[in-house]
Amino acid sequence: MSRRRSSSVTIRDVARKAGVSVATVSRYINRNAPVSQEVAERLDEVMIEMRYVPHAAARHLASRKTRVIGLLLNNLHNDFFVPLLNGVEGVIRKKGYNLIVATYHADIRNETPPPIGPHNTDGLLVFSDGLVDDDLINLNARGFPMVLVHRTPPPSVSIPSVTVENTEITHKLVDHLIKVHGKRRIMFLRGPIHQEDSLRREVGYKSALRANGIPFDENLILNGEFDRDIAYQVMHGFLNNGRQIAFDAVFTGDDDSAIGVLRALHQHDYRVPEEIAVVGFDDLGFASFLSPPLTTVRAPTEAVGRIATERLFGLLENQLSDEVMILPTEIIFRRSCGCQS
């Protein structure tokens, strides 16, 4: 027997086939009054057989609230995420929601779908390159609430985002090394290749060199990946491979990488800051406890998490916004660059 398309099957057809009243089918679909187990099983069987998708149930599913917010990250290997999570969790707790934190690598997107999204959350905070542009565009087209964290939206869509100022403050930091401490051979450790923070910091680094008449040298660029272990390995390798490439300062890209850089420099008997100045970015909790204390850029990481989450709840409450919010940053001078305070 051929089956009719679900679009042509009505609730009356289901009721007739199951041998119950339309009211009984309606009560079962909307779950607003109990029906017997026998009737429930028969209705399930008939709806499957007739390929009936109840409009009321579809509306219910569409408006279903999980009271869960998702935070999608590309990794959790970094102390950077502690203040970010504090900012997110504080807002979610006040709202009476739950938080799911998941990691996802965009390079496996064709094999494995993202672990969180419309199927298990009411809205999503997407950190950096946690999703590729195509995924963001598709979710945005479906009307799924999202706020981007530490990245801006693809050019073709309007998705609210919260990030920090990277370029001008990096220019000022490198300019400080040059003008105050006389540094001319400044190494830069890049972060992940597609991450906006790293790209914008590199722009600031290059613009400061250019403004001071210092040529850019690709030999002074290492890939630290914003990871202390990787930063240590690449710095140790650079110092250990016999190349005599002079340098007198290192902008580590972020504070986590600074840990690895300082370790490598100490192992190779370089004195910081007397021989090599070292500066970072983020001003994480450990920065003032490093040896020497780290000159760095203070980024309002906890505020980023808090504001991004507040904006996501605004979307859930139909307060539409597509603004890109850039929070200010400032340099914190400590001894690792050569300053006394």
End residue of a domain, out of 63, 83, 110: 63
Question: Which two tokens mark 318?
Answer: 């139909």
Q: Are residues 213 and 190 in the same domain?
A: yes
Strand order in the sheet with 277-279: 221-223, 186-190, 249-251, 277-279
- Identify the pLDDT of residue 179: 98
pLDDT in tens, 282-300: 999 999 999 999 999 999 9
Q: Report the alpha-carbon distance of residue 333 to residue 317 in Å, rounded.
A: 42
The reply to whether 29 falls in a domain is yes
pLDDT in tens, 217-227: 999 999 999 99
Q: What percent of the chain has pLDDT over 90?
A: 67
Q: Are residues 158 and 234 in the same domain?
A: no
Least reliable range by pLDDT among 24-33, 221-230, 272-281, 310-319: 24-33
Q: Are residues 145 and 205 in the same domain?
A: no
- Cβ burial, residue 84 (10 Å; 0-12/13-18/19+): buried
Long-range CB pairs of 237-242, under 8 A, 24+ apart, other chains included: 239/264, 239/265, 239/268, 239/270, 240/268
Domain that holds residue 262: 167-299+331-337
Amino acid at 145: P
- Identify the pLDDT of residue 321: 77
Average pLDDT over all residues of the chain = 89
Q: Are residues 201 and 224 in the same domain?
A: yes
Q: Is the dihedral of CA 78, 79, 84, 90 positive or negative?
A: positive
The reply to whether 1 falls in a domain is no
Kindly report whether the peptide bond that precedes residue 114 is cis, defined as omega within 30 degrees of 0: no
pLDDT in tens, 71-111: 999 888 889 999 999 999 999 999 999 999 999 876 665 56
End residue of a domain, out of 41, 63, 85: 63
> 36 falls in which pLDDT band (50, 70, 90)?
confident
Average pLDDT over residues 318-333: 91
Highest mean pLDDT among 102-106, 107-111, 136-140, 304-308: 304-308
Q: Are residues 57 and 134 in the same domain?
A: no
Is the predicted pLDDT of residue 236 greater than 90, yes or no?
yes
The reply to whether 211 falls in a domain is yes
pLDDT in tens, 94-103: 999 999 999 9
Q: How many domains does the chain have?
A: 3
Q: Are residues 275 and 129 in the same domain?
A: no
Is the predicted pLDDT of residue 175 greater than 60, yes or no?
yes
- Identify the pLDDT of residue 46: 84
> 314 falls in which pLDDT band (50, 70, 90)?
very high
CATH code: domain of residue 53? 1.10.260.40
DSSP 109: T
- Identify the pLDDT of residue 57: 44
- Identify the pLDDT of residue 108: 62
Q: Report the alpha-carbon distance of residue 125 to residue 130 in Å, rounded.
A: 10
